[in-house]
Amino acid sequence: MRSSRSAGNALRRWCYTLSSPSVALGRNERLRAPGFPCGDVREYIVSAASAGASSWVRSCVSSHLVANSTQPRQDFFRTFSEAAVAEEPAGEAGSPAVESLYKELNDSIRQKCLPKATLLPSLLKNCASPADVKLALDAVDRLRRVKAVQGQQKTNYNKNIAQLMVEACIRSGDPLAALPTLMKRNVYGFTPSLDQGHLLLEHAFGQKDTKLMLKVLRTMVTNDIFPTPVSAELIIRTCKDAGNTELLFQLAKEMRGNGVSLKKHLYDMLIATAANVGDVKQLYQVQQWREEQGIEHTTASAFALAKALVLEGNAEDAAKTILHHCNDAEKRNIYLQIMVKVWPLQVGAKVAEEEKHALLEDLKKKVAIMCESLVQSGCNVPVDVNEDFAKGAGSKSKAEDEVWTGGASS
């Protein structure tokens, strides 16, 4: 009885607000009652009946819906249409091609007819500057409103239009303008999808732009577009190429914690990066992740562990690790050269200048002990530590290229 009375009071208040002029424009939208269990008045009839509401409650709702089931006043449509066909705002002129297509689209709208279906995609494909993108966004908004008024567009644009919009923003040099395409609630009627997110992440990867990558990732997650293994690879590669190892490991940990699967070669990327910057603690963390996933050692992971053992002063154990897990002699020789020539420079770049000399001297002794242990075990060592130590040209080597492309998988 109490639930019926409270439902009746709520309905009285809701019916009163619907008769208010301030909400007249909202009648064309879905009727949504604040505080109702189902949110929709029509759905609430069923809920009220199943809850044993009084006949007055049901009759009140039914009579109100019948009274308001007619089409809204024509002046509402007229006002809405005028907003869609209003004069375009003055601003920086776009390219001639975009201006021409934009004018053609607007002329069709002013004549109360829909433009050709190919007109909007053509406009988006021709965008090449921020001014073009601004015109394109305005055109998208106007066309959406006109279609909504005429009842021809009851849902958002399909994802193809959203992807064309992202590509247009990237070409124009303003990728942030494409973020609304990832939002569930955007005024343009874009349909958010993972494809738009990947387009923006690929652009951030190409530009080594971690700030853009983070903004895209944050927008995706906020709008329930969750990263996939492909997203994870783009994110990790962006951090790696930008040299932001701290962010790399932080995001890798967060993605694993939120159920995003990492591809097997990404674990090689992570463990090799940890070894190259001398982060032993993070290296063992990544190795633990590998073991949890049941991933066997590769040449890259074995040498990463060997580097950690060398840093800890266990050069003989490092040699044993290499012998046990690296059966491919050709790959082993390549990685040994990199470990002697390039790796010391990578580790030394992460320490203070006054500490670098002492670190390199200590590393040279430990690496020499490891190589000597390998020779005594019958392993060919194609490099002379005394002559070649820290004499590499940099980190762009065949061995590292294998790691980052996932080629070192055995």
Give the tens place of pLDDT for each residue, 93-114: 778 999 999 999 999 888 878 8
CB 325 within 8 A of CB 297: yes
| CA–CA separation, 173 and 192 (whole Å) | 21
Structure tokens at 273: 């990066």
CA 237 from centroid of its chain's CA atoms: 13
| CA–CA separation, 294 and 111 (whole Å) | 65
| CA–CA separation, 30 and 354 (whole Å) | 69
Per residue of the chain (410 residues), what is the pLDDT tens digit? 445 455 445 444 444 443 444 433 343 333 334 444 444 444 444 444 444 444 544 444 444 444 444 444 333 333 334 444 444 554 567 789 999 999 999 998 888 788 888 999 999 999 999 999 999 999 998 888 887 776 655 567 888 999 999 999 999 999 999 999 999 988 898 999 999 999 999 999 999 999 999 999 999 999 999 999 999 999 999 999 999 999 999 999 999 999 999 999 999 999 999 999 999 999 999 999 999 999 999 999 999 999 999 999 999 999 999 999 998 999 999 999 999 999 999 999 888 888 889 999 999 999 999 999 999 999 989 989 999 998 876 444 444 454 444 433 33
Task: Report pLDDT digits (tens) over 8-44.
Answer: 454 444 444 434 444 333 433 333 344 444 444 444 4
| CA–CA separation, 157 and 140 (whole Å) | 9
